[in-house]
Amino acid sequence: MSAPFIFLPGWCLGRGPLNATVESKKGVIFDLPGYGTTPLIHDFMAAADTIAARLAPGTTLAGWSLGAQLALAIAARHPAKVGKLVLIAGTASFVQRDGWPHAMPSAVLAEFTASVAADVEAVLPRFVGNFNRGDARARAVTVELLKLADPRPASETLLTGLDWLRDVDLRDLAPQVQAPTLLIHGAADPLMPLAAGEALAALIPGARLAALDGCAHAPFLSRPDDFRTALHGFLND
């Protein structure tokens, strides 16, 4: 019997953009805390531990963007629960820190957070459009993401996620990952630069990195065939 395949979504958009990809692998999406009927948890590591408690031992765990950060923390803190790890558009730190330049300046995230607090519906199309900049199919992928996105969770949930992106630094945890790890990264991702994926892959023992050219932050929609090929090859090793 194959291991369960569990997928953690990214910030704000929910399950919708990922449904087709996850269903093709007979997987299950776990809502992040505060999304759907899942209770909000304010502490990032407590959220990771709560998700880990739901996993069967040896689960194949995947995450996109913020979900990739949670998946990384789960794999490092609960190695028996994660048999294989897939990080899509993942990073150890979303914002720039000493020794970690491959990221968003803190001031830019602070400005975005203020905009979300004021009116997330007005901000969302610009946010999705911006993280698709540089993608060969930028306009089409942006339209598809916005069409597939779930209804927005409460403002408190969105702002908690942005607090995590501001505060969480996983560079010390990444070397503790024991599971075979695949990083799938858009080579043109403006939100999580490829250099961040390369640096994260270097921190995780034995990690592989699949960089998809002409692709930004949503490789499963931008280059679905190449994405599924990379994922299939890793899951069936």
* Residue-wise pLDDT tens digits, 94-107: 999 999 999 999 99
* pTM for this predicted structure: 0.97
Calculate the CA 203 to chain-centre distance: 17
What average pLDDT score do residues 130-146 get?
Answer: 96
Q: What is the pLDDT of residue 171?
A: 98
pLDDT at 45 over 80: yes
What amino acid is encoded at 17 in this protein? Answer: P
Beta bridge pairs of residue 171: none
Q: Is 222 annotated in the active site?
A: no
Contact criterion met (CB below 8 Å) for 120 and 155: yes
CATH 3.40.50.1820 fits 5-235, yes or no: yes
- Catalytic-labelled residue, pool 93, 135, 185, 217: 217
Q: Is 189 annotated in the active site?
A: yes
pLDDT at 1 over 80: no
What average pLDDT score do residues 63-72 get?
Answer: 98
- Catalytic-labelled residue, pool 78, 135, 185, 189: 189
192: region left, alpha or beta (phi > 0 left; psi from -120 to 50 alpha): beta
Beta bridge pairs of residue 5: 60
Q: What is the pLDDT of residue 2?
A: 78
Q: Is 232 annotated in the active site?
A: no
Q: What is the pLDDT of residue 237?
A: 81
Express each pLDDT in 107-121 by its tens digit. Answer: 999 999 999 999 999
Q: What is the pLDDT of residue 31?
A: 97
Domain edges within the chain: 5-235
Q: How are the residues of the chain apportioned to helix, strand and coil, as percentages rounded to the nearest 5?
A: 50, 15, 40
Q: What is the pLDDT of residue 27?
A: 96
What average pLDDT score do residues 42-66 get?
Answer: 98
Q: Dihedral of the CA atoms 23, 232, 67, 220 (nearest 10)?
A: -70
- Catalytic-labelled residue, pool 65, 78, 135, 222: 65
Q: What is the pLDDT of residue 16?
A: 97
Q: What is the pLDDT of residue 170?
A: 98
Q: What is the mean pLDDT of the chain?
A: 96
